[in-house]
């Protein structure tokens, strides 16, 4: 848990600045931001997954996801249409996560109590998708293995890995949100991929 | 360098393809090499499985109703400015006639009442003369109780006449 939190302090400093500098127009997306219920319905689960794996703490992730959506709704006037709402929200989530992990209260409770991701529970949600029981078992094991491997990455690598392969953001979008050069993002992704593919198996 | 052993893509080249920064050479190789395509597909299918499973898990978690927590939508700045401008105009429309009316009333009152004359030295002297003459008339008509005893009134040596009486 502490390892999850350790490097978060260094992250996301330019998330808002990078976006603000690149956002100049307004359009259809602002309507999506005007309805808090629609915002929750569309983005809650995706943000919760991202923050859960980013922090490694599902309970904290719920609080952060809630704060992220509230912050986005309350500052929706500042949203410009040059990036997608999804990318904008991810940037806010990274900032809110950093703010939460910085607080003394969090640091105290992280020592006392922390809830970890239950990979067994998580893997039980594997979609049937026409798999036979044996295939489902293999898929579950793979998901559990990958969850564990992602948890061993550094905070920076994990966040960038999730932004790329779960949030399906481009390297440029990741660079904009985190205020990083494309080459730096690429380096982090290479390191993360080396660790993940190396541990998943030779043929990955 | 995109080619490794047996002419296949190196790990770095495969990672670049996965990241979305593939080179034209790597793309050309993938167009003809099923083995390297399988390596990419293995990772992609694992990630897809992970994403579907983790999303299904997070969808199963109850979301919070945030409607109560949101503050009312701030009105656009243009409406706020227009509102203030209208309020100012209404204030002026009511305030200017009222102010004009009040000042007109004050002016008419002021012109109706003549200015009070200030007491001049001459006026004071005339008033004192008048009072003295009144005193004299009164003292002539009223017999002094001292006259019964053949006495004459004298001012007390320790009592100095008060300045306000001296002026009378």
Cβ contact, residue pair B15, A194, below 8 Å = yes
Find how far residue A57's CA is from the centre of its chain.
Answer: 12
Q: Which residues of B touch A203 (CB under 8 A)?
A: 38-39, 42
| A9 band by pLDDT with thresholds 50, 70 and 90 | very low
Residues B5-55 have pLDDT tens digits of: 668 899 999 999 999 999 999 999 999 999 999 999 999 999 999 999 999
| Mutation for B interface: A189, A195, A202, most B CBs within 10 A | A189
- Structure token pair of residue A143: 């998901």
Q: Which residues of A touch B23 (CB under 8 A)?
A: none
Chain B nearest-CA distance from A7, in A, is 23
Whether A3 shows a pLDDT value over 50: the answer reads no
**Residue with more model confidence, A53 or A132:** A53
B34 touches chain A (CB under 8 A): no
The arithmetic mean of pLDDT across residues B101-112, rounded, is: 74
Close Cβ partners of B26 (under 8 Å, ≥ 6 residues apart) = B2, B9, B13, B16, B17
| Mutation for B interface: A125, A137, A163, A200, most B CBs within 10 A | A125
- Taking residue A135's Cβ as centre, other Cβ atoms within 10 Å add up to 13
Q: Please, are residues A12 and A50 in contact by the beta-carbon 8 Å criterion?
A: no
Residue among A95, A109, A98 at smallest CA distance from A6:
A98
B5 touches chain A (CB under 8 A): no
Q: Is B3 helix (H, G, I), strand (E, B) or coil?
A: strand
Cβ contact, residue pair B39, A146, below 8 Å = no
Cβ contact, residue pair B61, A190, below 8 Å = no
pLDDT at A113: 56
d(CA A47, CA A64): 9
Chain A nearest-CA distance from B29, in A, is 18
DSSP per residue, chain A: -HHHHHGGGGS-TTHHHHHHHH-----THHHHHT-HHHHHHHHHHHHHHHHHHHHS-HHHHHHHHHHHHHHHHHTGGG--TTS-HHHHHHHHHHHHHHHHHHSHHHHHHHHH--PPP-HHHHHTT---TT--HHHHHHHHHHHHHHHHHHHHS-HHHHHHHHHHHTS---HHHHHHHHT--HHHHHHHHHHHHHHHHHHH-TT-
A68 touches chain B (CB under 8 A): no
Show contacts of B46-50: CB within 8 Å, 24+ apart: B46/A142, B46/A146, B46/A200, B46/A204, B47/A146, B47/A165, B47/A166, B49/A126, B49/A139, B49/A142, B49/A143, B50/A142, B50/A143, B50/A146, B50/A147, B50/A166
B70 touches chain A (CB under 8 A): yes
| B103 band by pLDDT with thresholds 50, 70 and 90 | confident
| B141 band by pLDDT with thresholds 50, 70 and 90 | low
Indicate the pTM of the whole model. 0.63
């Amino acid at each position: 848990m502490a390892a999850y939190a350790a490097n978060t302090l260094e992250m996301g400093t330019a998330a808002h600045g990078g976006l603000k500098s690149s956002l100049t127009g307004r359009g259809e997306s602002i309507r999506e931001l005007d309805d808090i219920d629609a915002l929750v319905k569309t983005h809650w689960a995706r943000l919760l997954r991202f923050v859960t794996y980013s922090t490694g703490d599902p309970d904290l992730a719920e609080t952060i996801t809630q704060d992220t959506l509230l912050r986005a709704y309350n500052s929706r006037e500042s949203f410009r249409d040059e990036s997608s709402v999804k990318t904008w929200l991810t940037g806010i989530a990274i900032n809110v996560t950093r703010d939460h992990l910085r607080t003394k209260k969090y640091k105290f409770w992280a020592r006392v109590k922390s809830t970890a991701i239950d990979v067994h529970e998580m893997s039980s949600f594997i979609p049937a998708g026409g798999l036979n029981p044996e295939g489902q078992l293999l898929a579950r094991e793979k998901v559990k293995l990958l969850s564990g491997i992602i948890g061993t990455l550094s905070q920076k690598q994990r966040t960038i890995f999730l932004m790329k392969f779960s949030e399906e953001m481009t390297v440029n979008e990741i660079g904009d949100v985190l205020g990083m050069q494309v080459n730096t993002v690429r380096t982090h992704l290479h390191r993360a991929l080396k660790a993940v593919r190396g541990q998943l198996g030779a043929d990955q | 360098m995109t080619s490794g052993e047996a002419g296949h893509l190196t790990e770095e080249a495969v990672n670049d393809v996965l990241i979305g920064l593939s080179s034209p050479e790597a793309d050309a190789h993938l167009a003809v090499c099923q083995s390297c395509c399988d390596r990419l597909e293995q990772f992609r299918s694992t990630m897809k499985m992970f994403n579907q499973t983790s999303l299904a898990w997070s969808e199963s978690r109850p979301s919070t109703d945030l409607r109560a927590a949101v503050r009312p939508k701030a009105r656009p700045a243009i409406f706020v400015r227009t509102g203030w401008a209208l309020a100012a105009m209404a204030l002026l429309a009511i305030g200017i006639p009222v102010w004009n009316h009040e000042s007109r009333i004050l002016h008419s009152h002021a012109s109706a009442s003549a200015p009070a004359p200030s007491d001049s030295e001459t006026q004071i002297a005339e008033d004192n003369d008048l009072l003295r003459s009144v005193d004299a008339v009164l003292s002539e008509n009223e017999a002094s109780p001292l006259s019964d005893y053949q006495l004459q009134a004298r001012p007390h040596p320790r009592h100095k006449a008060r300045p306000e009486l001296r002026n009378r």
